[in-house]
Structure 1
Amino acid sequence: MSDHDERRRFQRIAFDAPTELRQGERRWPVTLLDLSLKGLLVERPEAWEADLSQDFEAIIHLDKATEVRMQVELRHEEPERLGFICLYIDLESMSHLHRLVELNLADSTEMMRELRELIEY
C-alpha cells in the first residue's frame, strides 16, 4: 500500500506538542507536524544518525501529566521530514490519541470509519 492510500484511510491532523523520538540510548527532540491513528510526521532533526533497521519510540507530551507513547517504524524519510507508522500503542495512549483525533475531526462518522480501518488494517 502506498503512503498516498494510507493518508486517505487515516486522516492526519496538524498538531503541535513537544515530541521526542527514542532509539536505545539516543534521543531526538522533534517538531511534530501531524499525526493520525496510524502514525506521525515530524521535522527531521539536525543530528539524525539513527539505525534505520531498528524501531523507535515516539513520545508526544500533551501536557505535564499526559503523553502518547508509540512504538514506531520509519516509513519514509525526506530531507526535511520523517514519516513513521505506529507498530504498537498501549491502551492509555490510544485513548488519549483517540480523543485528540476525535476532537479534531468534525464528523463522528469519520472517526468510527477510521477506527474500523485501524482494526482491519
Structure 2
Amino acid sequence: MDKLIQDYFLKEFILIAKDQERRHYSRIEFDGHCTIDFNRATYQAELVDICLTGALIQASAAIGISQGQNASISIELLGVDTKIDLLAVLVKREHDLLHFQLENIDLESTGHLRRLLELNLGDAKLIERELHQLAQGSVQV
C-alpha cells in the first residue's frame, strides 16, 4: 500500500511541476464581477484569477462561446472603484470555467492590471521582469 501512495504522490508532484512550467506569468486570485460581450449579447460572470496575459473566469454554462472565439471582457474589481477592459480569445473551456488569453488592452486598464498584480504579489520587480519578457516576446503565453 505504501508503494501505491508513494507512486500517487510522485505522479501528482510531476503534474503540478509541469503545470507550473507552462505558467510563465504570475497569477493572482481576485474576486471581481465580469461582463462578457460576445456575439451581440452580454453575460454576467465572476473573475477567478488574472495575470498579465489572461484571465480565468467562471460563467454560466449557457454562454455559447467556443475555443478560438473573441470576447470583450470588462472586469469590475471588488473593493476598489476600478475597471479593467480587455479583448480576449477563449483558449480553453472546462464546463463553467473559461480560460481567456489577452489579445488587446487599453493603456488605462494596463496600468490598473499592473498595479493590482504589484499589490497582490508584493514584488514590483517581478512584474517589471514579466512585462519585459512579454514585450520582448521571449516567453510563450
- TM-score, reference length from structure 2: 0.74
Deviation (angstroms), 1:62 = 2.8
1:56 paired residue number: 71
2:59 paired residue number: 44
1:91 paired residue number: 107
State whether structure 2 residue 94 is matched by structure 1 residue 78.
yes
Deviation (angstroms), 1:105 = 1.0
2:36 paired residue number: 21
Deviation (angstroms), 1:66 = 2.8
How many angstroms apart in 2 are the aligned matches of 1:119 and 1:6?
Answer: 18
89-98 or 60-69: bigger deviation: 60-69
Q: Verify the 8 A CA contact 2:68 2:91 in the aligned structure 1.
A: no
Count residues in correspondence: 119
Deviation (angstroms), 1:50 = 2.3
The structure carrying a bigger helix percent of its residues is 2
CA 1:79/1:51 → structure 2, altered by over 3 Å: closer, same or farther? Answer: closer
SS in 2 for 1:17: strand
State whether structure 2 residue 134 is matched by structure 1 residue 118.
yes
SS in 2 for 1:15: strand
Structure 2 letter corresponding to 1:115: L
Greater relative contact order, per chain length (Cα 8 Å cut-off, separation 6+): 1
- Partner deviation per Cα, 1:32-56 (whole Å, 9 max, x = no partner): 1000011000113131212555310
SS in 1 for 2:26: coil
**Larger-Rg structure:** 2
Gaps of 5+ in 1: none
Structure 1 segments (4+ residues) deviating >6 Å: none
CA 1:47/1:80 → structure 2, altered by over 3 Å: closer, same or farther? Answer: closer
- Partner deviation per Cα, 1:92-120 (whole Å, 9 max, x = no partner): 11011111111111222211111112212
Gaps of 5+ in 2: 1-17
Q: Verify the 8 A CA contact 2:67 2:92 in the aligned structure 1.
A: no
